[in-house]
Amino acid sequence: MSIEISHISKSFGDFQALNDVDLKIESGELVALLGPSGSGKTTLLRIIAGLETADAGSIYFHGEDATERDARKRGVGFVFQHYALFRHMSVFENIAFGLRVRPRKTRPSREVIREKVMELLRLVQLEGLEKRSPAQLSGGQRQRVALARALAVEPKVLLLDEPFGALDAQVRLELRRWLRRLHDELHMTSVFVTHDQEEALEVADRVVVMNKGKIEQVGTPNEVYDKPATPFVYNFLGSVNLFHGRVENGHAVIGNLQVAAPEHANRSETQAVGFVRPHEIDISRESTGTGSLQATVTHINAIGGMVRVELEQKDSREFISAEITRSRYNDLDLKVGDVVYVTPQNIRVFVEDYDFSI
């Protein structure tokens, strides 16, 4: 089932959680809502589920207006960050709940419910634990029970609020891969909220990057990582270096570095910031003229396949973080205090008329 969100706004008192948000989620997609806390991602998810009412705007499920539809009639599965399992019920009863509360006419028989629950337990790999109480399960197991409970009512949409947020790193990694496989098996439209960019980029078909109640960018993981639409996305997805300078006549000038910035060709002289990822910075012993900046090595971290080098730019004293391969590092024979030249391989220039705080 496709979901269309149209001009949704929502505020809590003075706090504007969502500001005129538009988004279309295709049927069968796995979409991540990614953003820092307070960006409105959870509010958007809860509005889709009907747990929160939008102040303005509409929601369409499969082209039908569902804005006023009651949460219990939306046919969505919702997985809460802290599981929200029914604490006084066994695992079995938790999963069976959605079927048991159906009106008599559509309620399956005892045997059918039992079969269904057992099948779901197999799916979430918790066979044999149906008699346990939620308190007797680990965090990862509880989350899988919560997922099974949501799937029991055969929802057309699965919504997950920070599903792995409360788990430790190892379990997190396992569960998110498992979620991806599960989605590929069931092909259910799924939306999950996360503040972990790695999680979003690894699991989702498409990533929706949110900030301050607005959508900054929607795209595949590759698109948002390689072609960030805004400075915010650039900064939020992975680490990044900032070079302060100016643009004039389609060129960005940062210290004695000059790069072409054709997207700003129509601008007269304006303050600008260049964004470069650490792995897009090359270090050399010789200057390449207007293509490089002089800098001093301040710290070297040579653990693992990539070597992280921290440098200080000579003119502006700005901090630069670079990642080079180990063989390149060995060729250069770098030591702390060396004066070298850094060359940004791929620089993205934004003029300074945005609000850059996260």
Partner 1 sequence: MSETRQLTRNTTEPLWVRVMLITLALVFVAILLVLPLVAVFQTAFQHGVKPYLAAINEKDALAAIKLTLLIAAIAVPLNLVFGVAAAWVLTKFDFKGKNVLSALIDLPFAISPVISGMIFVLLFGRTGVFGPWLIEHNIRIIFALPGMVLATVFVTFPFVARELVPLMQAQGREEEQAAVVLGASGWQTFWRVSLPNIRWGLLYATILCNARAMGEFGAVSVVSGHISGLNNTIPLQVELLYDDYDFSGAFALASILAMLGVVTLILKKLLEWRAGIKADV
Q: Give dist(CA 73, CA 293) in Å, integer.
A: 61
Of 184, 177, 214, 193, nearest in space to 16 by CA: 214
Pick the piece of the chain touching partner 1 (CB under 8 A) from 83-91, 190-198, 303-311, 312-320: 83-91
When asked if residue 98 is in the footprint of partner 1 (CB under 8 A), the reply is yes
Pick the piece of the chain touching partner 1 (CB under 8 A) from 48-56, 244-252, 269-277, 334-342: 48-56
Q: How far is the CB of 56 from partner 1 (least distance, A)?
A: 19
Of 166, 146, 1, nearest in space to 79 by CA: 146
Angle 136-141-144 (CA atoms, 0-180°, nearest 5)? 135
Among 10, 142, 144, 149, binds partner 1 (CB under 8 A): 149
When asked if residue 53 is in the footprint of partner 1 (CB under 8 A), the reply is no
Among 150, 193, 297, 322, binds partner 1 (CB under 8 A): 150
Q: How far is the CB of 179 from partner 1 (least distance, A)?
A: 19
Pick the piece of the chain touching partner 1 (CB under 8 A) from 144-152, 174-182, 207-215, 235-243: 144-152
Among 14, 37, 63, 72, binds partner 1 (CB under 8 A): 72
Among 80, 114, 123, 229, binds partner 1 (CB under 8 A): 80
Q: Give dist(CA 212, CA 19) in Å, integer.
A: 8
Among 30, 31, 85, 158, binds partner 1 (CB under 8 A): 85
When asked if residue 129 is in the footprint of partner 1 (CB under 8 A), the reply is no
Choice between 152 and 283, CB closer to partner 1:
152
Q: How far is the CB of 107 from partner 1 (least distance, A)?
A: 11
Two tokens at 39? 């960006």
Among 11, 20, 49, 229, binds partner 1 (CB under 8 A): 49
Residue 173 backbone zone (phi > 0: left; psi -120 to 50: alpha; other: beta): alpha
When asked if residue 24 is in the footprint of partner 1 (CB under 8 A), the reply is no
Choice between 97 and 178, CB closer to partner 1:
97
- What is the 3-class SS of 129-161, one letter each residue? CCCCCHHHCCHHHHHHHHHHHHHHCCCCEEEEE
Burial letters for 65-89: b for 16+ Cβ neighbours within 10 Å, e otherwise? ebbeeeeeebebbbbbbebebeeee
When asked if residue 133 is in the footprint of partner 1 (CB under 8 A), the reply is yes
Residue 307 burial (C-beta neighbours within 10 Å; 0-12, 13-18, 19+): buried
Contact (CB, 8 A) for 269 and 350: no
Pick the piece of the chain touching partner 1 (CB under 8 A) from 75-83, 210-218, 256-264, 296-304: 75-83
When asked if residue 78 is in the footprint of partner 1 (CB under 8 A), the reply is yes
Residues 187-216 that bind partner 1 (CB under 8 A): none
When asked if residue 50 is in the footprint of partner 1 (CB under 8 A), the reply is yes
Q: What are phi and psi of 25, to 5 degrees?
A: -115, 120
With tokens 């078909």, the residue in question is 205
Two tokens at 151? 């799937």
Two tokens at 23? 């988004």
List interacting residues with partner 1 (CB under 8 A).
Answer: 49-51, 71-74, 76-78, 80, 82, 84-88, 97-98, 101-102, 133, 135-136, 146, 149-150, 152-153
